[in-house]
Structure formats: structure tokens, C-alpha cells
Structure 1
Amino acid sequence: MTRLRHLVLVLGDQLDLDAAAFDGFDPAQDAVWMAEVAEESTHVWSSQPRIALFLAAMRHFAQAVRSAGRPLHYRRLDDPDNRGTLAAELAAALQTLSPARVLMTAPGDWRVWQALKEVVAEAGLELELREDRHFFCTVREFAAHARGRRTLRLEFFYRELRRRHGVLMQGPGADAQPIGGQWNFDADNRAPFGPAGPGAVPPRSRFEPDDITREVLALVARRFADHPGALNHFAWPVTRAQALQALQQFIDQRLPHFGRTQDAMWPGEPWLYHSHLSAALNLKLLSAREVVQAAEAAFHAGHVGIESAEGFIRQILGWREYVRGIYWTQMPGYLQRNALQADQDLPAWYWSGRTDMACLREAITQTLALGYAHHIQRLMVTGLFALLLGVRPQQVHAWYLSVYVDAVEWVELPNTLGMSQYADGGLMASKPYVATGRYIERMGGGCAGCRYDPAQRVGERACPFTTLYWDFLERHQALLARNPRMSLQVKNLARLTAAERDAVRQRADAIRAGQVGVPA
């Protein structure tokens, strides 16, 4: 019997038949290995929609692997002898299959990479990592960009990638300039909806569960019944074909309206004009290149305006690549950063949505039901409250990684610790993103139906966001005063008398003690 040449490891977020790990694959002497294990749903207490998405997509991909004629060793979560961890399952597979080499596409999780690398080494083999071609920028290229810089800024990195890949550029070679005469249209893309709201919003792309997905939903409901979230709204794309369909529907129906109001919120409207493609991108059912190309083509065809095309492309070509570079150049120490010395526990109602703050109730109950919230709900509602409250950033990270269907650590961790919680002290974001409740009111967060008034910072009706904003400035005044982008906000503290500051502090203490913000 011929010895197995290559065992190709495929993780749940590497679902691409054309991945680099398959380069040179020979069905006569190579095989694929995949495993569903409980550990990946319990190392953080993952929500039911997140678990279901990964398992359903993995099982559909396994079907595609077999259809492509590639030998597959697949361990299901409900197999009676499932060992429960990727490390244990791989160790057993290596002993049984005895491959000459083990290889995989570079993973998206430091913890998983370390565990698999250790198992392979114990078997006397090396784990060969191949580049993930779904990205525009390699980790080495980002490291070269970052070398020698005291701080990292998205804008400089984004411009570099735009030039390198010729995206939304005009003119020859080195003289090329950004189309529209400016690099970003962020200032044009912050408008709220009018008093009547967004109007008729195109429907979300829905994919009714087939037999494979229904089997997964039943398994998750049974096996993970005590995990947060719900499955009755599950309609995410779980195959390559579905992901491509979702991409086309976004380009045709929502991208033309995406730009100006991409930061806006509206109660009862979770989907709005956003793409809802991040989960498919992070599972590798779509590549960043084809998504950017589709948006750019729509602009050149006159289907969408520059503000919508550039605003969306910046999220993919800019921000997504940026946070991946930060993750892989800063781990493993990045996970422990806590520049603001935040020490509060995450409020228990983050797992239930039972709070009387309307914007948080809306964002959290939506998140638990759908496994989804758009970027402003994450950054400026759930994330902002945790930052102002002073929650340990590692607890905030664990919550985000648990509840969102698109959460893979390489993208979630820098967004949470760096952008949302400023726990890296400004490595990736130029300032803490803090605001009063008036920002949420302006962007359509449902304040009109809330018991709290965003214009008040003290008193029974004071919005907790507003109280905690002033308390945050007071507590971190020395640090923030050194930040040019925060100096004006810090100077506003001088307008408060000693008595007003004391009242803010007392109200903030009551909020931290759980005496404010929960239903009576």
C-alpha cells in the first residue's frame, strides 16, 4: 500500500476548493482532513447561530470535496467517538493515516495554529503553511509596511493597497490618482435617515435550510441548548453558490444606497443597506478580491456612486486587511492588552438583552436572534457602552467572538480590543471612539422610545451613555489630554463644576453597580 503523501488540513473558515493548500493535490496519494469538535463551540460560549453556520458550511463543503474526487477524512460532531478537540482528533488521524507531510492554508486563529502545530511536531512532522490567497496583502507585506512605525493608521495602509492593486484609480502607473479626487468619502457617508426612517429596504438575501442544514440545526438545538441565541431565523449562505448569489443581490439591490447612510441605525431594521457578506468572506466562500472587483465594476458601469463604492471597498480592501495584519504581527501578546486598565465585568444582560436602555436592548436582542449587527451597532452601541463602563477588554472580546456568525479571531480581536475598546493604547486607532447618547440619538438609535434622555448627564432620566462619557473623560483625563484628537473633548470638562463632576461620578458608580439600566 502506497504511503499517504500529503494530508491537507481544512478548518471551518477555509472552505475554498481552490485554496493554496490544494495546489498540486493528487487524489491518488493525498487526502483531506476535517473535523467538527465541541471545543470550537465552547472555548468561548458560542451562540447557536454561529455554531450552526460553521457546521452547516463545513458539511456542505465536505460534500463539495467528495464531489471533486478528493479523498476526505471527516469527523462529525455527533460521531459517538468524537474526541472533542481538534488536537486530539488530528493526533489520532496522524497515527492512523501516517502521512509523509501535513499542510494547510494559513489559519485565522493563533490558538488553533499553535495546537495543530504542536500535534504535528509530536508526530515527528512539520506543519507546512501556505499563503491564504483570499487577501490582497500577505502578513509579511503588512509587517514590512508596519516596520519602524510607532503607530499604525488605516489611511496610509489603504492608500498603499489602492495604488498597488489599481483599485478605483485613474491615470498611468506611478502617476495614478484616486477616482473622484480624494482617497475616501467618509465625510459624505455619515448621514442619518430622515424622520420617516429608511423607507422600503431591499430584503435580506435568504437561503432556506436544505436537508444538510436542517440536520445541523437540529443537532445544535439539541447539543447546545444552553448556549445563547436562536435558530428560527437562520438563512445564511452556506455554500459557494449561495454566497455568490448573496454578493450579486447586494451589488444590485443595496450597494447603490449603501454610502451616505452606512453609519445610520433604525429600530426594527437590522439589515438596512449593508452587505451581510462578512460571514461568507470569513468562511472563504467568497474572496476579498472578487467582492472588491464586483463593487468596482458596478461603479464603472454607472450602477453605484463613488461614495458607495469607495465606502464599501474601504471596508474590504482597507479595514479587513488592516486588522488581519495587526493580528498576526501582534499576537499572542495582543490578546492581553488593557491600556485603560479596565476591570469591570461585562453586564449579565449582554447575554439576554434585558436592559431598559432602548439602543442596547435593540442591538443585543437582534444580535442574539440573528447572530448579526452592523458595524455602528457593534462599535457605537454595544462596544461603546462596554468601553465607557470600563469592562475588561478580554470579556468584551469573548462576547463578540461568541455571538456574531462572522466572528473569526483574526478579524474580531483587533476590531474589539483595538478599535472598540482602545485596549492597545492607540496602536491601530488614533483615539478612543467615545460619545454621549446624543450620537446614538442622531444616528437613529431609537432614543425617542427610551426612558432615558441623551441630553442629560445626571439625574434619574440621564442617559447612561452620557453619564459614563463624562465619567470616562474624568477618569482618563491625563491620558486623553495628550491625544490631539481628544484634547477638545477633554477641555470641555472644565465647564463642569466640582459639584457636577461629583454628581456624574455618583451616577456612574450606580450604573456600574447595576442599579441603573435594568428593568424595574
Structure 2
Amino acid sequence: MATLIPVLGDQLSLDLSSLDVEDRSDCIVLMMEVWDEATYVRHHQQKIALIFSAMRHFAEELREGGYEVDYVKLDDDDNSGSFTGEVERALARHDIDAIRITEAGEYRVMDAIEGWSDTFELPVDIRPDTRFVCSLDEFTAWAQSRDGGLRMEYFYRDMRRKTGLLMDGDEPVEGRWNFDHENRDSADPDTDFPPRPTFEPDAITRDVMDLVASRFGNHFGDLESFTWPVTAAEAKDALEQFLDHRLPCFGATQDAMLTGEDFLNHALLSTSINLGLLDPLYVCERAERRYNDGKVPIEAAEGFIRQIIGWREYIRGIYWWEGEGYGEENYFDAKRDLPDFYWTGETDMHCMAEAVRATREHAYAHHIQRLMVLGNFALLAGIEPRQVQDWYLVVYADAYEWVEMPNVVGMALFADGGAMASKPYAASGNYINKMSDYCSSCRYNVSKKTGEDACPFNALYWHFLDRHRDKLSSNHRLGRIYSNWDRMDDARRQEYRDSADAFLKTLTPPQEPWAR
């Protein structure tokens, strides 16, 4: 008799709680490539290739470490296409008396796992995912203690205290928790940015790429530029390259955008962290060491660490705290279909075209492109939140529902009415012009506020604020902005409304069923 240990595609860590066993000979690790997971949305081709290749490499690592691994490939005969179906088939192949698994990261998978005990009439030991700094129970206790509402900044400070990262006793190093104000520079288009770390596909990855091309070739994106790290060793190499070459300048330009520069000084580590190839605390400790050694400024180290133990941990906590209904929130009752150019990139708005192009080519765009270009447009235009969620889940290699849903619902769209953010992340074309060189290459004129040639973001911004005044005017962070609107004469306000309405009428829904 043995214990079956199913390992999911985003649990590729030797430190996984379910793999913490004294006798490896008494266990069988089950890994499964299943159709349901590859197609519940039509994931970017590079995302599928990344996960399957990383899974196959991890299976080899487990075998080398003394584990017996039962690996089911997507094209194996009799593959049932689902996690539950493959567990059932594994139980028929092996003499199993118990199942042990680390908790899944998403509701729908946890729902299935929690039913296995009754389905298979076996004990199922569901262990916590210890790869996060903050456990779900710890986040729940923190959230219940926050009488004034949940805000990431206060959670982040608690995570700094817990980990000791960038701390001097009980106080933050250099006397401040947050150096975000120093991290808002634009970037010089002539900057010679360090190259992206790339990893040549080996035989395992090439086999996976062939499988993806044959089975999912009609999905969004392509495989031409696939060079993601697919093993823990490659992921650590990518981390060291970031620490050596890009972290020193990461902070100042982390919000900048440039035409044709898809990576700038960004880390490109979220795919590896979310798969389990890199431990998030290890990543932060390595960054902190560079600061302690005087090799990177505080604003770079703090800004990077905040993204991991701040936003990443907070987003995961919000996902489970809010519950399954969170994805259906629609505070502004937005109903417009996602425009076709989110898939094709065919739009005269240069910022949107650039963000979609990068997304299509790499299954990646950095956080400001995602939030302040793509997300901002969806917010201003009133795109239905579920369609926006599906899009983000499809197109990015690091996107899993637990990280994607709160970022879209709570940050990009304010669809939760402020449960996560203190105000909508709404901005006119001026923000994009300030943080990028996009506007200089755009057909639209960012300095023109209304009319056919005006930047659409300008009129859409005021149109959004006007039509949702009943829900937003009491927000203390928007009071001055509404005062500016009120100082305009009636004719000027109507120009904004008319200009926005005229543009919105040009939007067309997708011609292909790209998402589901």
C-alpha cells in the first residue's frame, strides 16, 4: 500500500508540503497534463508550453531525487482530461490507501479536491501551501482585525515585520516603509537596457512545443519567441541576471513604457515564482543582500520586494478572503464587450497596440502596461468585468485565477467598489504621455481633449467620472477632480460626453472566440 501524491502544474517545488515525507519509497507522485486545464480558457500557446515543459522537467527532478513518478501526458491513451479522472485512473493502476496533496490555488480545483474523499472512499490529506509568506489562516485573522478596511500598505508592513526584510529592529531601514515616490521616472528611449535572459528550448521543451502547436495552434499568441526558464536551475540563473544587471535601475523606471522595449529593467520572474520554480522569500532575501552590500539603492530593493511580499501575498489573500463570488463583482454595471483589438492589436491607439503586441509575442507585458494602459482603457470604456478577467487569464504566462482575478476586479476595474483599492486607477492620456514615448508615435493627439483626432483616453476619462458620479463623488481622493469638472461650462462638458460617445461607437467585439 502507498500514498498517492498528486502534484499540480503550479506546484513545482521540492519544498512542497505534500512532498515532505520520511520514506519516499512509500509514495507515488502523480503528475497530469489534462485537457480541462489547458482549455477552460484558451490560454496563450506559450503559457501552455511553459507549464507542460516545466512539469516534465520537474518530474525528472523528482525521479532523480528518489520519488516514483506516474506522469500522464496530454496525448497519452485514455487520458481522461481532468484531474479527478486521472486520480481515479491512478488509483486503478496502483495499490493506494491514502491521498496527500497541497491545497490548490484556485476555487474550482479545490472544490474538486475536497470531493475526492467521498468519491474515492479514501482519506485525503490536504496540506497548506507553505510556499507563501502569509498563510490563508493568517491573512483571514489580519483581515478580520482591520476595522477601517483592507489596504495593501498596512499588510505589507506586517509582512516586512514578519520576515525582517529591510528592517532595522522594529523600524524600516532608512526610516521609510515605501519609496514609491522615487520610482516614477520615465525612461530615455536611447537607454541601452540589459538583454532579457533567454533559455534555449531543450529536447523536452521542443517536444512540448510540437504538442502545443498541433493541439493548440489556434490559441492566442505563438511560440516563436519562447525562451522562458522551465527548471529551478534556469529560474535561479534568471534571478541572478536580474540582480546583477537590472535590479540597480529597476526602481526608478519600473513604471516607464517605451515603444519596442518590452522588458526594460523588469525582473521577468513571476512565471517562475508562480510555478514554484523560485521561492518568493528566497528571491526577496537575494535582493535584500544586494542592498545590504551597497549594490542597489533602497528604492530599487524596496520596490521589488514590495511587489512580492506586498502585492503578491495580498492579492492571494484577497482572492480567498472575498470568496468565489468575487469574480462576479460589477460595481459600475459595465456591460460593453471587450473590443476586438485586445486580441488583434489593430488600433490607432499606439499605447494599446504596443501593449497587445508585446502580450501576443511574449505572453508578457509589465505591470504598468497591464494596469494603466490595458486595464485603464477597459475601466474607462465600461468593459464587462468577466470578459476582462478572461482576457488577462488567457494572455499572460504568469496568470492564474488567484492572482489575475483580484488584480482585475479590485485594481484595474474597481469592480468591487473599493474593497481592495481606495480609488479607481483611472487616468487620461496625460499619464501615458508622462510615463512613455507612445504618444509621439500615435495618430491621436494627446494634447487635444475632444474631437476626432483627440486622444480617446482624454474624453473617456471625463465620461467615466461623469457617468459614475453618484458612486464616486464622495470618494475623498476624487473631490478635487470633480471640482475641476464642475468648473467647466456646460458646453465643454457636453463636448467630452459627445467625443467619448462617438469613439465608443467605433468599438467592435471580437470576431474569434478567443477566450472560452
TM norm. shorter chain > 0.5? yes
- Distance between the aligned counterparts of 1:466 and 1:118, measured in 2? 51
Q: What CA distance in whole angstroms lies between the structure 2 residues aligned with 1:101 and 1:506?
A: 65
SS of the residue 2:251 aligns to: coil
Matches within 5 A, 1:128-147: 128-147=125-144
Q: How does 1:145-224 map to 2 (within 5 A)?
A: 145-149=142-146, 150-171=148-169, 176-194=170-188, 197=189, 199-224=191-216
Q: Which runs of 5+ in 2 are unaligned?
A: 511-516
Instruction: State the alpha-carbon separation in 2 of the partners of residues 127 and 395 from structure 1.
Output: 35
1:398-431 CA-to-partner distances (Å, cap 9, x unmatched) read 1101100011111111111111111111111111
**Structure 1 residues 309-328: aligned runs within 5 Å:** 309-328=301-320
Q: 1:508 to 1:9 in 2, by over 3 A?
A: same
Find out whether 1:45 has 2:42 as its counterpart: yes
The CA deviation at 1:108 is 1.1
> Which deviates more, 244-253 or 492-501?
492-501
**2:339–2:509 Cα contact (<8 Å) kept:** no
Kindly state the Cα deviation for residue 130 of structure 1 after the two structures are TM-superposed. Answer: 1.5
In structure 1, the residue matched to 2:495 is: 503
Which range moves more in the overlay, 177-186 or 452-461?
Answer: 452-461
**In structure 1, what is the Cα distance between the partners aligned to 2:158 and 2:483?**
35
Using the TM superposition, give the Cα deviation of residue 198 of structure 1 relative to its aligned residue in structure 2, in angstroms: 5.3
Distance 2:416 2:498 in 1: 28
Partner of 1:121: 118
Which of the residues 325, 332, 335 maps onto 1:333? Answer: 325
Equivalent residue for 1:383? 375
Q: 1:126 to 1:509 in 2, by over 3 A?
A: farther
2:346 is aligned to: 354
Q: SS of the counterpart of 1:276?
A: coil
TM superposition shift of 1:385: 0.5
Give the aligned partner of residue 253 of structure 1.
245
Superimposed CA distance per residue, residues 330-357 of structure 1 (whole angstroms, 9 cap, x where no aligned partner): 1211111111111111112211111111
Asked if structure 2 preserves the Cα contact closer than 8 Å seen for 1:366 and 1:372, the reply is yes
Query: Over aligned residues, Cα RMSD in angstroms?
Result: 1.6
- 2:338 partner SS: coil
Tell me if structure 2 keeps the 8 A contact 1:8–1:103: yes
Mapping 1:76-95, distance limit 5 Å? 76-95=73-92
The answer to whether the aligner puts 1:72 opposite 2:36 as a matched pair is no
What does residue 6 of structure 2 align with? 9
- Please list, as runs of the form range in 1=range in 2, the aligned pairs for 1:474-493 lying within 5 A after superposition: 474-493=466-485
The amino acid that maps onto 2:186 is P
More divergent stretch after superposition (53-62 vs 450-459): 450-459
Q: CA deviation at 1:515?
A: 5.4
Unaligned runs of 5+ in 1: none
Give SS of 1:391's match. Answer: coil
Percent identity (aligned) = 48
Tell me by how many angstroms 1:479 deviates. Answer: 1.3
2:88 maps to a residue whose letter is A
Q: Output the amino acid matched with 1:162.
A: R
Selected match of 1:229 from 221, 230, 238:
221
Q: Is the 8 A contact 1:117 1:126 kept in 2?
A: no
Q: How far apart, in 2, do the equivalents of 1:316 and 1:215 lie?
A: 33
1:276 to 268, 278, 285: 268
How far off is 1:105 after superposition? Answer: 1.5
CA gap of 1:186–1:89, structure 2 versus 1, over 3 A, is same
Structure 1 position 516, deviation (Å): 9.3
Q: How many residues align?
A: 509
In 2, the alpha carbon distance for the partners of 1:130 and 1:157 equals 24
Q: Given residue 89 of structure 2, which amino acid in structure 1 is its aligned partner? A: A
SS of 2:126's equivalent in the other structure is: strand
Distance 1:115 1:516, change over 3 A: closer
Q: TM (normalized to structure 2)?
A: 0.96
TM-score by length of 1: 0.95
How does 1:260-299 map onto structure 2 within 5 Å?
260-299=252-291
Deviation at 1:120, TM superposition (A): 3.9
| Residues 517 and 122 of structure 1: CA distance in aligned 2, closer, same or farther (over 3 Å) | closer
1:111 maps to 2:113 = no
Q: Deviations over 1:491-513 (max 9, x none)?
A: 22113332333332232223322
